A and B are shown apart, each in its own frame.
Chain A
Amino acid sequence: AQSVTQLGSHVSVSEGALVLLRCNYSSSVPPYLFWYVQYPNQGLQLLLKYTSAATLVKGINGFEAEFKKSETSFHLTKPSAHMSDAAEYFCAVRPSGSARQLTFGSGTQLTVLP
């Protein structure tokens, strides 16, 4: 079964600093990978996705992620954090070539300090 592991349940950065949220997946073949953001009392919103095209994926709100097969990683980055980035972030995996279910990681709560 495919799974994702998010390292660090809580991450704090200063406003303007680099944001790095880590996600590692386990899969025998490269899957589809996703990052979602969840603001308080709201549903999940798709930030970006990897579907076997370019390994560097750009998403909304200045976020990007790089698929690294050798490291089985799909870390999320943003060069400069903004207060509005404070939220919970989820990495998710789905078998490639299939519309089967998403499997989510346990989430990383991002705090942005002034």
Chain B
Amino acid sequence: EAGVAQSPRYKIIEKRQSVAFWCNPISGHATLYWYQQILGQGPKLLIQFQNNGVVDDSQLPKDRFSAERLKGVDSTLKIQPAKLEDSAVYLCASSLDYGGAYNEQFFGPGTRLTVL
């Protein structure tokens, strides 16, 4: 079974530029998550989708971050414009179903963003 795919793996941009990250979840997984992991910290959830609808985006800085999952499969996370503090690893994860007592989240390798 293929895992969660993310691209690019690394990205270096200057502040005020725009950047987009792509995620393809495990086939059949209804729920998709984007996390931000700043160096020395644990991952922090930015947004959670179930199919193509947003379940939780309470920690997404909506003035500069946006995300979509148009067909309920792959997803794109965009930052426009980027700030220095956006330097982090952006992790995508997916799980089988939103409902139920427990659903394991499977993580992709992440995209390491450096903002200069």
Contacts and interface: CB of A to CB of B under 8 A. Distances in A.
A43 B56 contact: no
A43 B35 CA distance: 11
Interface stretch (A13-21, A69-77, A95-103): A95-103
B75 to A, nearest CB: 15
Interface in B19-64: 31, 33, 40-45, 48, 56
A104 B44 contact: yes
A51 B101 contact: yes
A24 to B, nearest CB: 14
Interface string B98-116: 1111111101111000000
Given A43-B108, A43-B109, A97 B48 contact: no
Contact of B42 (A32, A42, A105): A105
B42 A101 contact: no
B102 A44 contact: no
A42 B111 CA distance: 10
A46 interface: yes
Interface of A: 9, 32, 36, 41-46, 49, 51, 90, 92, 97, 99-102, 104-107
19 contacts: A32-B102, A41-B9, A43-B91, A43-B108, A44-B91, A44-B107, A46-B104, A46-B105, A51-B102, A90-B43, A99-B100, A99-B103, A100-B56, A101-B33, A101-B56, A102-B45, A102-B105, A104-B44, A107-B42
Interface of B: 4, 9, 31, 33, 40-45, 48, 56, 91, 93, 98-105, 107-110
